[in-house]
Amino acid sequence: MTDLPVLEATGLGKRYRRKWALRDCSLALPKGRVAALVGPNGAGKTTLLHLAVGLLSPSEGTVRSTGATAFLAQDKPLYRGFTVAETLKFGRLLNPTWDDAYAHDRVAALGLPLDAKAGTLSGGQQAQVALTLGLAKRPDLLVLDEPLANLDPLARHEVMRGLMEAVAETGLTVLLSSHVMSDLRDTCDWLVVLNGGRVQVSGDIDELIAGHRLLTGPAEDADALARRVEVVDRSGSRRQVSLLARTGPIPLGPQWTERPVDLEELVLAYLRRPDAASLPRPTLATA
Ligand SMILES: Nc1ncnc2c1ncn2[C@@H]1O[C@H](COP(=O)(O)OP(=O)(O)OP(=O)(O)O)[C@@H](O)[C@H]1O
């Protein structure tokens, strides 16, 4: 597999007046990946995406992408008074790489009426039109800021399915920000966690899942165990604790149990501990 990064940031930072919105951000997104950018409000996600597509210039560091990039901003930016047909025509006139046959086929397959004004479409349909605009530019990298915001679960599923089909057809690389973890699990294969303007995690989701375990056992043994493995997050009572640790399967005492973590647990553990970081790649089986 060729792992040439489509997007690469090195020491990237952005300051708005005196306040840093993003700091010391280094990541590399390999070709053909569908990457989820997650983090709490104000973490710097939009800032990173705007830097990635050149809408902002860095205050420090560098970011570069190879090939053509398309960007879908937050809130599905469509002209509400334009019909679907006019929206596609606008896309064609503005974009030299526009694939008009693809755009019309996609809209027809989705059952979107060409004569409907964008403003009269449902949120899910508007998201599909916006996604069509991005995909029909035939970019190498598609960057989407909160494409699932305000959509119901069915519409979210349909949008993600459309993205996955485009990735399968074209080998497109996708970077999307979202707050909806449940929609990312089945579709994304790369994870970037931003917290307080810093990248905490950036890596292959399967590797990250394989590199973390949830260890549960008596609180009195926890400190000794924490010296053997890197603990990302610790929770529990005075008697029993759960440690979300960066480790592969490890031998444990009889009073301990361990199990794999899911993506949501992993992300939440890092978000709860802004000082924990798994960079640049997770270290597997560090115990
Ligand atoms: N144009 C701006 N001028 C000044 N500060 C800004 C500007 N844009 C963003 N910020 C600040 O930078 C920080 C990061 O904002 P950003 O919008 O990138 O975060 P985000 O992760 O996308 O948040 P959300 O999930 O709420 O969309 C925040 O503290 C925000 O207030």
Spacing, Cα 44 to ligand 1 middle (Å): 6
| Residue whose CA lies nearest to ligand 1 atom number 23 | 42
Characterize 252-265 residue by residue with b for buried, 16 or more Cβ atoms within 10 angstroms of its Cβ, and e for exposed.
beeebebeebebeb
Please give the number of the atom of ligand 1 that sits closest to the Cα of 74.
Answer: 27
Q: Give me the pLDDT at residue 282, please.
A: 39
- Determine, yes or no, domain membership for 218: yes
| Residue whose CA lies nearest to ligand 1 atom number 25 | 41
Q: Give me the pLDDT at residue 234, please.
A: 94
- Co-location of 160 and 20 in the same domain: yes
Structural contact between residues 158 and 106, judged by C-beta atoms closer than 8 angstroms = no
Distance CA 170, CA 67 (A): 14
- Co-location of 243 and 107 in the same domain: no
Characterize 98-121 residue by residue with b for buried, 16 or more Cβ atoms within 10 angstroms of its Cβ, and e for exposed.
bbeebbbebbeebebeeeebbeeb
Please give the number of the atom of ligand 1 that sits closest to the Cα of 47.
Answer: 18
Q: Give me the pLDDT at residue 181, please.
A: 81
- Determine, yes or no, domain membership for 272: no
| Residue whose CA lies nearest to ligand 1 atom number 1 | 16
- Determine, yes or no, domain membership for 37: yes
- Determine, yes or no, domain membership for 278: no
What is the complex's ipTM, to 2 decimals?
A: 0.97
> What are the pocket residues of ligand 1 if the criterion is a CB atom closer than 6 Å to any ligand atom?
16, 21, 39, 41-47
- Co-location of 197 and 218 in the same domain: no
- Co-location of 131 and 248 in the same domain: no
Please give the number of the atom of ligand 1 that sits closest to the Cα of 39.
Answer: 21
- Co-location of 162 and 47 in the same domain: yes
- Determine, yes or no, domain membership for 114: yes
- Determine, yes or no, domain membership for 50: yes
Distance CA 235, CA 35 (A): 28
Q: Which domain holds residue 236?
A: 213-260
Rounded to two decimals, what is the model's pTM? 0.90
- Give kind and range of the element (H or E) at residue 165: helix 153-170
- Determine, yes or no, domain membership for 177: yes
Distance CA 250, CA 273 (A): 23
- Co-location of 120 and 230 in the same domain: no
- Co-location of 81 and 184 in the same domain: yes
- Co-location of 192 and 223 in the same domain: no
- Give kind and range of the element (H or E) at residue 126: helix 123-136
Q: Give me the pLDDT at residue 21, please.
A: 95
What is the chain's Cα-based Rg? 21
Type of residue found at 187:
T
- Determine, yes or no, domain membership for 126: yes
- Co-location of 38 and 152 in the same domain: yes
* pLDDT tens for the chain, residues 1 to 287: 556 799 999 999 999 999 999 999 999 999 999 999 999 999 999 999 999 999 999 999 999 998 899 999 887 678 899 999 999 999 999 999 999 999 999 999 999 999 999 999 998 899 999 999 999 999 999 999 998 888 888 888 888 998 999 999 888 999 999 988 887 888 899 999 999 899 999 999 999 999 999 999 999 999 999 998 999 999 998 899 999 999 988 888 899 999 999 999 999 999 998 887 765 443 333 33
| Residue whose CA lies nearest to ligand 1 atom number 10 | 21
Spacing, Cα 11 to ligand 1 middle (Å): 19
Domain boundary among 182, 202, 222: 202
Number of separate domains in the chain: 2
- Co-location of 97 and 219 in the same domain: no
